[in-house]
């Protein structure tokens, strides 16, 4: 398997890296196990000191790290800088809050005394995607290092320099050898690694097929897994929404990260009375996006992560049109070097069109019009995915009622689905299970150990 930096702005091969040898992999896993046995005995203060150092180095190196992100997967440079900022905030959040969130919980049993203690479980394997190459790693590594676990990371093959940069930051911060380890491994060998008895849990962010494979392997060996498998978020516009503000958020929600975001707004559902007005303004804003080099500050839409990704979404649009969809805007590759795709809006996507149920991982929006609130909720839920969603209305209580009826792990009112260190992140249905971030993300890979204290005279 090739681990390569290919600049998607030009499709130029920059650098290649070799896969780990079997001997190197064995040494890495053995060292991670050794590191865990030592790290689990450290106190929270020591663990927090490491995470604070990591956060400080991320901020110190923000500009150079952002350039690596943009080079490898095409993210707008300003957005890449924002990702580094968010990544540092995640490390700070867990360094500051983990000790309190993991504190013993006192119980009040009928007999005796008891409490629950959160204990680390061992070496964990994280399988991470390319679209947020620093943030995705942080939301898995930061809480679990604070718990006392050790981390192995199999990063995406197209962001090898990002993967190495994270490893170097941990090393520079003084992390014990083996506490955090980057692995250049093929998907096949990663799947085989899950069977290793030294691996006690696995977390994956990726495709639905990858999630099925990981869940199957983890289940086979009775290991905990957390899966975040993407989504097709509904963006509901009710008749009382502020249309101008909603359109602004609609463009941000769809085009963030060049459209390659699991919680991007992908299905725009407008009630009939305001559908035409919203669609007209949304189309104008999408058409006005400046496509270009992601390092240029005036660029609004950069390339997709790889040429293969651009080809895939172009073909996906063609299949949708062949099955009855209408191209209202875009629909084609951009006439320039690189993995570029036009900002695209599809309408007339019916339930017999395969595109109706698919995830479009790029700058393609699907637009639907419905009679009212009830139909909007039904359409939002008519999806195999259940990651996030949003509702736009000036009646907040109404927004809450609608949000309560949407079958997803997250719903935002008057904002596209978003992320921050102190909010849990995750979905349901085909979008996976488990949570990352905030307190819920801290509770996934822990042993909730019951400790009961009895007097010798107690009856039980």
Q: Kindly list the strands in the beta sheet with 326-329, ordered across the sheet, starting from the edge strand earlier in the chain.
A: 326-329, 344-347, 364-370, 265-271, 233-237, 389-392, 412-413
Evaluate whether 129 touches 75 at the Cβ level (below 8 Å): no
For residue 14, count other CB atoms closer than 10 A to its CB: 12
262 is known as an active-site residue: yes
Q: Residue 94: which residues within 8 A CB-CB, separation 6 or more?
A: 51, 142, 143, 145, 146, 421, 442
CA 65 to chain centre: 19
Selecting among 72, 83, 228, 358, the annotated active-site residue is 228
Evaluate whether 141 touches 152 at the Cβ level (below 8 Å): no
The torsion defined by the Cα of 343, 348, 350 and 354, in degrees rounded to 10, comes to -30
CA max distance for the chain: 83
d(CA 53, CA 42): 16
d(CA 361, CA 35): 38
64 is known as an active-site residue: no
Strand (E) or helix (H) holding 288: none
Classify burial at 67, counting beta carbons within 10 Å of its beta carbon; exposed 0-12, middle 13-18, buried 19 or more: middle
Evaluate whether 54 touches 87 at the Cβ level (below 8 Å): no
Q: DSSP character for 175?
A: P
Selecting among 162, 261, 262, 305, the annotated active-site residue is 262
| Four-residue CA torsion sign, 250, 204, 182, 20 | negative
SS3 letters across 17-62: ECCCCHHHHHHHHHHHHHHHHHHCCCCHHHHHHHHHHHHHHHHHCH
In the three-class reduction of DSSP (H, G, I as helix; E, B as strand; rest coil), residue 135 is classed as helix
User: Strand 150-154 vs strand 123-127: parallel, antiparallel, or unpaired?
Assistant: parallel
Evaluate whether 74 touches 304 at the Cβ level (below 8 Å): yes
User: Strand 389-392 vs strand 412-413: parallel, antiparallel, or unpaired?
Assistant: parallel
**Could you list the active site residues?**
228, 262
């Amino acid at each position: 398997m090739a681990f390569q930096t290919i600049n998607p702005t030009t499709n130029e091969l920059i650098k290649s890296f070799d896969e780990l040898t079997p001997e190197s992999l064995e040494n890495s896993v053995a060292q991670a196990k050794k590191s865990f046995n030592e790290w689990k005995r450290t106190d929270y203060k020591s663990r927090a000191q490491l995470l604070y150092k990591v956060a400080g180095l991320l901020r110190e190196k923000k500009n150079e790290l952002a350039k690596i992100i943009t080079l490898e997967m095409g993210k707008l440079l300003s957005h890449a800088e924002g990702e580094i900022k968010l990544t540092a905030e995640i490390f700070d959040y867990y360094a500051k809050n983990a000790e309190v969130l993991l504190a013993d919980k006192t119980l009040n049993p009928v007999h005796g005394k008891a409490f629950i203690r959160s204990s680390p479980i061992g070496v964990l394997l994280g399988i991470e995607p390319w679209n947020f190459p620093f943030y995705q790693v942080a939301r898995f590594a930061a809480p679990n290092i604070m718990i006392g676990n050790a981390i192995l990371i199999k990063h995406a093959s197209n962001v090898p320099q990002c993967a190495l940069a994270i490893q170097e930051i941990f090393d520079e911060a003084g992390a014990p050898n083996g506490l955090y380890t980057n692995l250049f491994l093929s998907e096949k060998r990663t799947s085989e690694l899950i069977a290793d008895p030294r691996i006690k849990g696995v977390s994956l962010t990726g495709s639905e097929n990858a999630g099925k494979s990981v869940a199957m392997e983890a289940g086979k060996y009775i290991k905990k897994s957390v899966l975040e498998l993407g989504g097709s978020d509904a963006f509901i516009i009710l008749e009382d929404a502020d249309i101008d503000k909603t359109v602004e958020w609609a463009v941000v929600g769809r085009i963030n990260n060049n459209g390659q975001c699991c919680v991007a707004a992908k299905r725009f559902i407008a009630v009939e009375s305001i559908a035409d007005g919203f669609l007209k303004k949304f189309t104008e804003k999408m058409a006005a996006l400046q496509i270009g080099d992601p390092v240029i500050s005036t660029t609004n839409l950069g390339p997709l992560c790889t040429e293969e990704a651009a080809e895939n979404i172009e073909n996906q649009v063609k299949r949708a049109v062949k099955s009855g969809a209408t191209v209202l805007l875009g629909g084609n590759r951009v006439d320039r070097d690189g993995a570029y795709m036009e900002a695209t809006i599809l309408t007339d996507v019916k339930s017999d069109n395969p595109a109706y149920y698919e995830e479009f991982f790029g700058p393609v929006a699907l637009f639907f019009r419905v009679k009212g609130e009830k139909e909007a909720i039904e359409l939002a839920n008519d999806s195999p995915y259940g990651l996030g969603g949003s509702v736009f209305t000036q009646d907040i209580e109404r927004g809450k009622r609608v949000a309560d009826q949407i079958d997803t792990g997250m719903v935002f009112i008057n904002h596209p689905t978003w992320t921050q260190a102190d909010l849990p992140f995750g979905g349901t249905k085909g979008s996976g299970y488990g949570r990352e971030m905030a307190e819920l993300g801290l509770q996934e890979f822990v042993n909730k150990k019951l400790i009961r204290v009895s007097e010798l005279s107690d009856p039980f």
